[in-house]
Structure 1
Amino acid sequence: MLKKVLSCAIAGAIVVSSPVAVIKDFTVLKAEASTNFYDVPTNHVGYDEIGYLSSKGIVTGYKGQSGSYFAPQKTVTRAQAAKMILTAIGQKEATVTTQRFSDVSKSHWGAGWIERAVQLGIFSGKQDGTFGPEDTLNRAQMSKVIAQAFKFEGDVSLGEPFDDVWVNHDFREHVIALYWEGITTGTKPTHYSPWTNVTRSQMSMFLARAMDPKFRVKVSQGEPEEPTPTPTPIQTTTEAVILTNGLNVRSTPSTTGSVIGSLSKGERVAVHSVDNYWVKIQYGNQVGYVHKLYTKLRNTSGTPVAKRIIVIDPGHGGKDPGAVSSGSTEKAIVLAVSQSLEKKLKAAGAIVLMTRAGDTYPTLGDRVEFAKNNYADMFVSIHANAATASANGTETFYDTSSNLNGEESKLLAAEINKQIVSLLNMRDRGIKDNGFFVIKNNNMPSVLVELGFITNTSDREKMLTNKDLFAEAIYRGILEYYKK
């Protein structure tokens, strides 16, 4: 797995260092101390408050291709909020000698800020002993931590301003306190939307109002809506589904390109083009680049596999026959199935590459490097099993210990295994997490399929006479993977 070392500036700018070439990182910026963010125009609802906090170094911006930007609609994490609030009230981070929370190591960038926030009673941990430093902060939680940090106390006798803050909510008194102080208003006149995540713009406004009364608002007013950029429409039939949280969107197709924003797991963005490991996407009203290995590229029309680079790896070959039984060899069986699968995928528009097209023997390392050097979207290694004569059935392997896309590999394995069992009436031996070299050392979704047992009479006969049907089953499994 990629090992990550995180550090963070107050506004959530994070850098990740890694010993491998492919990294998921953010770029740290120094404090801007300026209101000159191109995405915060003078008519922005939080313009004054953001400028105020920026001048004090409480919030910072990011460097983009077009200059500095603030990303006002980006959400705020619990760790970021802890640092922002403590900086606002003049506190320093604590020296951490003992790890308090299981998910906040002493080396975590926010450990000292989190420790001080807990010491002051501003934040608390969860019942399971974690803090959730990267969890987003919602409006209910925001009201509580700001009220506790600035010592605002609620008086329910003044009235209940919102009909979605119920009497049994543990944050009710804090919402009431901030409301009557003119620090927080509702998203609508009678709605507070307590479970909505807090944006950087909102957090800036709340903090500025708490710090300086000149920013406070009259009660009984809804918060003005933040302007939403109008995306530039594009014509595309491909989308990228984001597979990890905090994926950087860069201005150029390089890890040295400036960061213009980030995406969360499960988000979908339109794809302009794909070049090697970089995916050119539509990011709001901008064009940016994300790393291919952290995305699942899907076609929104046409065949699911069109333009996908799929590497098929027929096991063994050449000097290595693989398993042998009753005159049949594993290398011959899997090559025939692989060649049939190649035809089916190509007919559907996929870019299909074979680690071997004949009776040759590429090493295990050669097979892995072949897939990586061709920037494959998927790697499927095909084998036949061997054991005692009674052993039978199909099983498919994936690796989550080292493969960056282990979870995606598991999903692919499940779909392929299910189709083989169904179409060939094979015994289902299930999918299994195992570190076979070719799937462990790859970084794209990778599986190793054991079609059946060459040492079992029934399985062997199926593999010899139903090669196209095995190929069809694997093909259908790949299609189902891309559809989901």
Structure 2
Amino acid sequence: MIVSLFSINTKTHAAGFVDVPSRALKEVNYLVEGQVVSGSTPTTFTPYKTITRSEAAVFIGRALQLNGKQRATSFKDVGSGSFASGYIQSAADKGIMSGYGSSFRPYKVVTRGEMAVMIAKAFGYSSSAGAEKALMNLGIASGLSNGTFGSNQTITRADFAVFLARAINPEFRLKQSAKFMKNLVSTTGNLNIRSGPSTSYRSVGKIAANTPVTGAHSIGGWTYVKTEGKVGYISTYYLRTASTGNTVPPTLTENNDSKLSSQTIILDPGHGGKDSGAVGNGLKEKEVVLKTGLQVNNLLKQTPFNVKMTRSNDTFIELKDRSAFAKNNDGDIFVSIHANAATPSATGTETYYYSAGNPHVADSKLLASKIQARMLTAWNLRDRGVKNGNFSVLRENNMPAALLELGFISNAGDASKMASDYWMNTMSKAIYNGILDYYKAKGYNVNSLYK
């Protein structure tokens, strides 16, 4: 028997809200658990209030794990200070929502017909008969008693939450429409199956490495699967196709950018604060690598990827705290940036990965190799190779990790590049493109992101 994800811990009131109608209790609870929706106050959801376009953008954006960072938008009526600005721009960029010329009309209420279009576009649920028919065919929405869809009727926050929960998880739908057709295998042990497509959702069970599963649709870097009497979401990163042994290509029916936005890249500029690192030719390693890290960070911020830096200023961080930071932020890859030092004649670029303890040896080597190749093209220094290195930030990590040595700060020629804004920009773009090369090799569509 398939274990229901929603048969336990049902609450009298949805997530502490006292005003949610019984027909929407489970769905609102589910979305609150996943940090997709929130209340108007700690105890009220205002379920009968009509939902606005800005609220809809936030709810959908959170469900797909889009970039919600507040920022300037392309719409004259949505400023960077708006709580929804990041999600509105992300939804517009991905074609989920569009504006009215140069305006977005964030406070305009949403109709049932507009809701259908938004959800169909967001999750890739299409039909030749249109968005409304597509949602009805899947059991996500139903028509009204008069036989129409009620396209022009406004929709409330409660009803929008119900439809959104059904779009995410088939267990809420009016009919069984999930098609488990992909034969997959887990690639790591102690792997969580979660009730929804993010780590915010609870674990409904664990499976061992090399466990067969059958997959249906994917959302935001997670695949809806059935295995060992359980149904739920598993991170697509830890699945491979059963027939070929290759990691599952992260192509979505919704949008490949949803996959990218589920990936967190950790940038680790070495040294800092009281630890200057290597010193030579008037340069300090801590300053060179911080400048590099900030430039790479700025490039990645222009993409759907999430990016975190262990330090973004002249701060000293213990080695153990760097890998801990990466783990605590659910990093998917870790890139540590350094500069070498030796005799004045030593020159060249090299990259390290750790082959003994990190569970992602092959991917660590792939990441190191892709970035090394780009760095060599950027500065045309001696190729010192991709090597196994027993460094703490690699050894103590649990994700694909690479440590870069840009060049030798003790070499006048290498150092001259580190002192040049032009060459530093070139190197930063190389590291950025190397990261994209890694994701491309893993099956992600990053072609439009190259610099």
What is the TM-score with the length of structure 1 in the denominator? Answer: 0.46
Considering only CA atoms, is the larger Rg found in Structure 1 or Structure 2? 1
